Amino acid sequence: MAEASTDTLKRTPLYASHVKMGGKLVPFAGYEMPVQFEGVMAEHLWTRENAGLFDVSHMGPCFLTLEAGIGGGDAAHAEIAALIETLVPSDIASLKPGQARLTVLLNEDGGILDDLIITRPIGDEAQGTLYIVVNGAMKEQDWGIFEKALAGKAVLTRADDRILFALQGPKAVDVMADFFPGCEALKFMQHMPFEMNGQRCIVSRCGYTGEDGFEVLIPAEAGLPLIEEMYTDERVKPIGLGARDSLRLESGLCLYGHDLAPDISPIEADLGWVIQKRRREAGDFPGAARILKEIKEGPARKRVGIRPLERAPAREGTEIQVGGETVGTITSGGFGPSVDGPVAMGYIAAAHAAPGTKIDLIVRGKARPAEVAALPFVPQNYKR
Amino acid sequence: MTTYYTKDHEWIRVEGDTGTVGITAYAAGQLGDVVYVELPESGAKIAKGDGFAVVESVKAASDVYAPISGSVVEANTGLSDAPEKVNEAAEGDAWFVRIKIADTGELDGLMDEAAYTAYCEGL
């Protein structure tokens, strides 16, 4: 992930809010983003117990709409779904109105170009468009791919000038219900539209911390006073990227550019569940030959959880050995505040991928004992 | 007893030919929550400017550089079980090592407290 020099960095609509709340700002995905407020450890634990507010406006929310426009009910959805399904292996056609799905953008070799969430809108009159959120660092690439592949058939509308924020943690639902009455009825990966301060916004029950929570896309002029008011609620604190990373790692969630990359397939990444039955049977997605072969025969390497058995964290790039031979590499690693110990994820040869397998991690030239562990490291608390 | 500081934010408190070394409160604040400290063993030889210890926060690992050459007389092994002490008492109980100084002349290039405070204010 390239970091631009400070003078070319963009700011989200919440920049002034971050400064006011004491955020320590760093370059991330081309933006000046808060890495922490009171401290990564405290923010991480706060989110697991209360409600943490994350600015994710640097990400890539967008709408992909049929050239003919919206309306036309199920037929229109089928049409836009068929278009996006040429680029991703998930079953988008079968999404129910209001439902969202995690998927991956694939290259011709079945490698992952990004991970993204695709949502089908509610209401017959709104069909023919998809609400899509891609990663901030990958949005120019992804949007270029959409526009090139779907030219003349669908139109891309960027929405990254708005505020996209996440409220995560066990108390998020009670806070959200105060501001968006009715949103508590949503289940994980469902969304509904709201009007707030005179502006249309989208409330989704999802997130990337392993906790119950919501993501909200809202125009800046309506979102700024909303977030200012949320900060007056004692259950809510601002959370930086540092804790976002440790929360998602403990929850076994992948970070693009680290755990996912163009040479890694969704089967190697243990994301085979994003490819639903209809798509597997049809085999009609980029890189299907490789991916279907890996489903049948098993991949040569696999993403696994890793628990160092001593206190030293093992960071990204750490070599994994068994009996002195290299068998894999760590792709995300650090300290898990809720686990109260080091945690990591990485890719390892399939023969060594079973949970409980003893491995060595080469940290600063020294072999340190670790074992393959089941993911997630802490239970996910989604509202199913 | 005099304390000296480096531009890399280590401190060394000198008594005779022995120096006690740690990282500054400023450095600890920049690192954030310290979760792991790796120290050299007693008897290890260290050279001025070399990384002799590692301090890890939730987010990243950072080298700690020797402010002076010498041999390690004692490492603060208590930090391995309580690395958070680095955030609480960086310039006190959370010292890293005691060193038998090879050449006190190497102290000449280091900052005193006033110079270090001014240096941090300029960062």
* ipTM of the complex model: 0.89
pLDDT digits (tens, 9 = 90+) for A94-105: 999 999 999 999
pLDDT of residue A304: 98
Token representation of residue A189: 């990966």
Report the residue of B33, B62, B85 to disrupt the A interface, i.e. the one with the largest count of A CBs within 10 Å: B33
For A277, the 3-state DSSP assignment is helix
The pLDDT-based confidence of B113 (bands split at 50, 70, 90) is: very high
Flag whether pLDDT at A137 surpasses 70: yes
Do A313 and B59 lie within an 8 Å CB cutoff?
no
The pLDDT-based confidence of A5 (bands split at 50, 70, 90) is: low
pLDDT of residue B1: 81
Measure in Å the smallest separation between the Cα of A311 and chain B Cα atoms: 7
Q: Which residues of B97-114 are buried (b: 16+ CB within 10 A; e: fewer)?
A: bbbebbeeebbeebbeee
Apex A367 CA angle, A364 and A369, nearest 5: 125
The pLDDT-based confidence of B59 (bands split at 50, 70, 90) is: confident
State the Cα–Cα distance between residues A263 and A273, nearest whole angstrom: 19
Measure in Å the smallest separation between the Cα of B106 and chain A Cα atoms: 28
pLDDT of residue A8: 87
Token representation of residue B108: 């000449």
Report the residue of A28, A255, A311, A338 to disrupt the B interface, i.e. the one with the largest count of B CBs within 10 Å: A311
pLDDT digits (tens, 9 = 90+) for A328-367: 999 999 999 999 999 999 999 999 999 999 999 999 999 9
DSSP strand pairing (A213-218 vs A112-119)? unpaired
Q: What average pLDDT does this structure show over B19-44? A: 95
The pLDDT-based confidence of A1 (bands split at 50, 70, 90) is: very low
Cβ–Cβ contact A35 with B under 8 A: yes
Q: What average pLDDT does this structure show over A187-191? A: 98
- Which residues of chain A does B59 touch, with a Cβ-Cβ cutoff of 8 Å? 35, 40, 242, 245-246, 334
Measure in Å the smallest separation between the Cα of B29 and chain A Cα atoms: 10
Flag whether pLDDT at A324 surpasses 90: yes
- Which residues of chain B does A246 touch, with a Cβ-Cβ cutoff of 8 Å? 58-59
Return the residue of B nearest to A24 by Cα. Answer: B30
